């Protein structure tokens, strides 16, 4: 199965506790089919100081979200959209928004 969401894309969460939030994709794990989204799905990690000078405490960081729970955000349509692929005349491929039909930029 091809994954049409890439690092740097802006996605909208469509299921779970953070439903409706949008954020930029920080990383994509193709094996586990998960993405880490900026400012979404925060978890608390209790850390212990391992060496001199290192601080212990509670750290909040983003946890991965399954790919089926996010949808690429189309700024022109103002909502999440499915992603299609269009082949151009020169043989190159580009991602398009199914909602608006517009070409999606690399970082959008």
Give the CATH number, domain containing residue 93. Answer: 2.30.30.30
State the Cα–Cα distance between residues 72 and 76, nearest whole angstrom.
12
* Residue 32 included in any domain: yes
The predicted structure's pLDDT at residue 75: 86
Give the tens place of pLDDT for each residue, 9-20.
999 999 999 999
Number of neighbouring beta carbons within 10 Å of residue 11: 23
Segments forming the whole domain that contains residue 79: 10-48+58-97
pLDDT band for position 53 (cuts 50, 70, 90): confident
pLDDT over 90 (residue 55): no
60 touches 74 (CB < 8 A): no
Q: How far is CA 42 from the centre of its chain?
A: 14
pLDDT over 70 (residue 106): no
The Cα diameter of the chain in Å comes to 61
pLDDT over 70 (residue 72): yes
């Amino acid at each position: 199965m091809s994954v049409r969401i890439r690092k740097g894309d802006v996605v909208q969460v469509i299921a779970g506790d953070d439903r409706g939030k949008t954020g930029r994709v920080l990383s994509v794990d193709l094996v586990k089919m998960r993405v880490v989204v900026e400012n979404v799905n925060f978890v608390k990690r209790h850390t212990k100081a391992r060496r001199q000078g290192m601080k212990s405490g509670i750290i909040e960081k983003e946890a991965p979200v399954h790919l089926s729970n996010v949808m690429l955000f189309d700024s022109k349509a103002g909502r999440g959209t499915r992603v299609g692929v269009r082949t151009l005349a020169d043989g190159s491929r580009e991602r398009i928004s199914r909602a608006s039909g517009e070409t999606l930029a690399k970082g959008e």
